[in-house]
Amino acid sequence: PPTGQTISQTTGTSTADAETYADFNWDELGFDIVPTDYMYVMKSSEGESFTQGNVTPFGNIEMSPYAGILNYGQGLIEGLKAYRKEDGRVLLFRPEQNAQRLKIGAERMCMSSPSVEQFVEAVKQTVRANKHWVPPQGKGSLYVRPLLIGSGPVLGLCPAPEYTFLVYASPVGNYHKGPLNLVVEDKLHRATPGGTGDIKTVANYSPVCKALTEARAKGFSDVLFLDAVTKKYIEEVSTCNIFIVKDDVISTPATVGTILPGMTRKSIIEIALDFGYQVEERTIPMEDLLEADEVFCTGTAVVVSPVGCITYQDKRVEYKTGAETVSQKLYVMLTGIQTGRIEDKLGWTVEV
Ligand code: COI
């Protein structure tokens, strides 16, 4: 895609806007690769702290073929978004929460990690450098992807001797078009007790691609995984957390080790409690899913996405979607706070 600050033919932006926005047709945003101009890179060697990070032009990175990430998957991802306010300023949503989650994941994966302050500063610098890639309000957001990888060389299995913290960004629109059509997977599993399902390791994502690819080929939007021990309880969708609503009680699987503690999950629980809903974090048997009034998914990429129907073995169940749903009410409040349209009473947003 084109970069730069010239007047866009496609969007017809004015000269003033040309300094604010990249030359891009913002109406075409999906969740696809749109490389921006800069990324942030910082390294840590031999157990030392991370130092001397800086913003550098976006581009390929060089790594030894022995790198821990390439051989043994020693890596973590994060995901957060920058939003354009109506007045043009840019907000991040709870970036320190992502920083803390990365630290917890790094501890589990025997990796050095940046401090919370270093993480937030790196994200801010990446967004500032790519500010004209933050879409106009209502057109999408700038998805920020921090990566922490074992970049140092290893041959036998051990933690890498060097780590690289890298942050890149890409403007995005909706991850899904319309309500989700999920299929329950009862053979392959996403996470097991004692495994790494509760941290955002890169290795949690590629193993679900088989079930996801097969499901997509059959017309489903995503896959809902069950617990690996009893196959009786719902756990998580490959890209997001799941909630059910029954008689105005909202439930979501408890974060017991196989569930990713999503920032959107956490924020939606807090917003729902503030609205006066009863919220239960618990084990959710398949029967509760099949009898729910509403089902929705949450995640940074998917935001709050209603589920229209779920297929489990030979059953297909439909759920309420649309303007009058609990998920829509929660979506409006969450995105209102994220974009500065609704007062941020909890201090969740951070200006870049
Ligand atoms: C996110 O929602 O930020 C994620 O990392 C999920 C990914 C599959 C896009």
The number of the ligand 1 atom at minimal distance from the alpha carbon of 31 is 9
Return the pLDDT at 46.
80
Categorize the per-residue pLDDT at 35 as very low, low, confident or very high, splitting at 50, 70 and 90.
very high
202 lines ligand 1 (CB under 6 A): no
Taking residues 11-16, report their average pLDDT.
45
Mapped onto helix, strand or coil, the DSSP state of residue 65 is coil
239 lines ligand 1 (CB under 6 A): yes
Higher pLDDT, 47 or 251: 251
CB distance 93 to 349 below 8 Å: yes
Q: Is the pLDDT of residue 82 over 90?
A: yes
Write the CB contacts of 256 (distance below 8 Å, at least 6 apart in sequence): 283
The number of the ligand 1 atom at minimal distance from the alpha carbon of 200 is 5
Residue 147 CA, ligand 1 centroid: distance in Å: 12
Residue 98 CA, ligand 1 centroid: distance in Å: 12
End-to-end CA distance of the chain: 25
Categorize the per-residue pLDDT at 17 as very low, low, confident or very high, splitting at 50, 70 and 90.
low
Categorize the per-residue pLDDT at 20 as very low, low, confident or very high, splitting at 50, 70 and 90.
confident
Mapped onto helix, strand or coil, the DSSP state of residue 71 is helix
252 lines ligand 1 (CB under 6 A): no
On average, the pLDDT of the chain sits at 93
196 lines ligand 1 (CB under 6 A): no
Q: Is the pLDDT of residue 3 over 50?
A: no
CA distance 31 to 263: 19
CA distance 270 to 282: 16
200 is catalytic: yes
Which regions of the chain does DSSP assign to beta strands (E)?
38-45, 51-57, 75-77, 80-84, 90-93, 141-150, 162-172, 180-185, 222-226, 234-237, 241-246, 249-253, 278-282, 294-299, 303-312, 315-318, 349-351
What predicted TM-score, i.e. pTM, was given to this entire model?
0.93
Q: Render pLDDT for 168-195 as a digit per residue (tens, 0 to 9).
A: 999 999 999 999 999 999 999 999 999 9
Which protein residue's CA is at the shortest distance from atom 7 of ligand 1? 239
Q: Is the pLDDT of residue 5 over 50?
A: no
Return the pLDDT at 18.
55
The residue from 187, 200, 210, 218 that is catalytic is 200
Whether the ipTM is more than 0.90: the answer is yes
Alpha-carbon Rg for the chain in angstroms? 21
Q: Render pLDDT for 334-344 as a digit per residue (tens, 0 to 9).
A: 999 999 999 99
Task: Tell me which residue of 307, 330, 176, 179 sits closest to 250, measured CA to CA.
Answer: 330
Task: Tell me which residue of 197, 186, 296 sits closest to 252, measured CA to CA.
Answer: 296
Structure-token match 């354009």, residue found: 84
Residue 169 CA, ligand 1 centroid: distance in Å: 13
The number of the ligand 1 atom at minimal distance from the alpha carbon of 205 is 8
The number of the ligand 1 atom at minimal distance from the alpha carbon of 300 is 2
301 lines ligand 1 (CB under 6 A): yes
Which protein residue's CA is at the shortest distance from atom 3 of ligand 1? 79
